[in-house]
Amino acid sequence: MTIRGLWDRWLRAAFERAHTMLGALGIFLVAGLLVGIAGTAAFVELASEVREGETQSFDEAVIRWMGAHRSPLLDRAMIELTALGTGVTVLMIVVIAGLFLTLTQHKYSAILLLVATTGGLVLNGVLKLGFERPRPTIFIPAVHTVSSSFPSGHAMSSAIVYGTVAYLAARLHRRRWARWLVMMFALFLIVLISFSRMYLGVHYPSDVVAGVLIGFAWAGFCMATLEAIQRFALRRAPKILEDEKAAPGGAGS
């Protein structure tokens, strides 16, 4: 057999093994681990750049550009959008979603949402205290702020809460296109909220990017944990699944 033939055979075997492993572990478990690891690594790299001042000139240039392109209509729109990432709003979403999950026999999903949200709040507070980055002072911000700038709490909490809720909704839907639609809508909302923080002059671009990165990383680890519990329950403790119904199957799933 030629070298090319051996290479093609090895590639096919590797693909089949990877496909089998993905099926055994589950796409959500694999995706959660990848997002968690990649997000954490990217956050650490960005945080290092911010601490060394490497991003400051770019950050200030972006805020100046946004300040020069503000308008009364955009101001009102961005204030409404940024409200979707405030603590009160995201906590209301968590309470409503958690109550729905509990009433529909998804206890572990409800616990995941609670742990992801609570852990995210604690993590954001610790990171802010660790960096103590001053807020932008390029222009007078349109909203009041009380904490330091890095990482953005709005961006981080939005990534965690909206991302986790979208993931839980996707798990429970039988149509693949609906799963993608839910997740893409959540991503679009997270981007809009993050953009509003820069437009309103309360965060630098590096703040919101860092918030989204570490938010997705934390949500990814939590997502992978729930999926691991599900996989463990299928073989070792099936009684666990009595409180956590699996995602329904069907055409298009």
Per-residue model confidence as pLDDT tens digits over 123-135: 999 999 999 898 9
Mean pLDDT computed over every residue of the chain: 81
Compute the Cα dihedral for 243, 246, 250, 253 and give only its sign: positive
Encoded tokens for 177: 């296109």
Is 144 catalytic? The answer is no
**19, 106, 144, 154: the active-site residue:** 154
Residue range 165-188: mean pLDDT, rounded: 86
Cα distances from 97 to residues 55, 113, 135, in angstroms, run 37, 8, 33
> Residue 239: pLDDT band by 50, 70, 90 thresholds?
low
- pLDDT of 223 reads 85
DSSP string, 123-160: HHHHHHHHH-PPPP-SS--SS---S--SS-HHHHHHHH
First to last CA, the chain: 40
More confident residue, 4 or 197: 197
As a whole-number percent, the residues of the chain with pLDDT over 70 amount to: 79
Is 154 catalytic? The answer is yes
Over 90: is that where the pLDDT of 81 sits? yes
Residue range 131-155: mean pLDDT, rounded: 83
- pLDDT of 17 reads 45
**19, 69, 173, 203: the active-site residue:** 203
Over 80: is that where the pLDDT of 244 sits? no
> Residue 144: pLDDT band by 50, 70, 90 thresholds?
confident
Instruction: Give the lowest-confidence range in 64-78, 117-131, 155-169, 222-236.
Output: 222-236
Over 50: is that where the pLDDT of 19 sits? no
- pLDDT of 157 reads 94
Determine if the peptide bond prior to 151 is cis (ω within 30°): yes
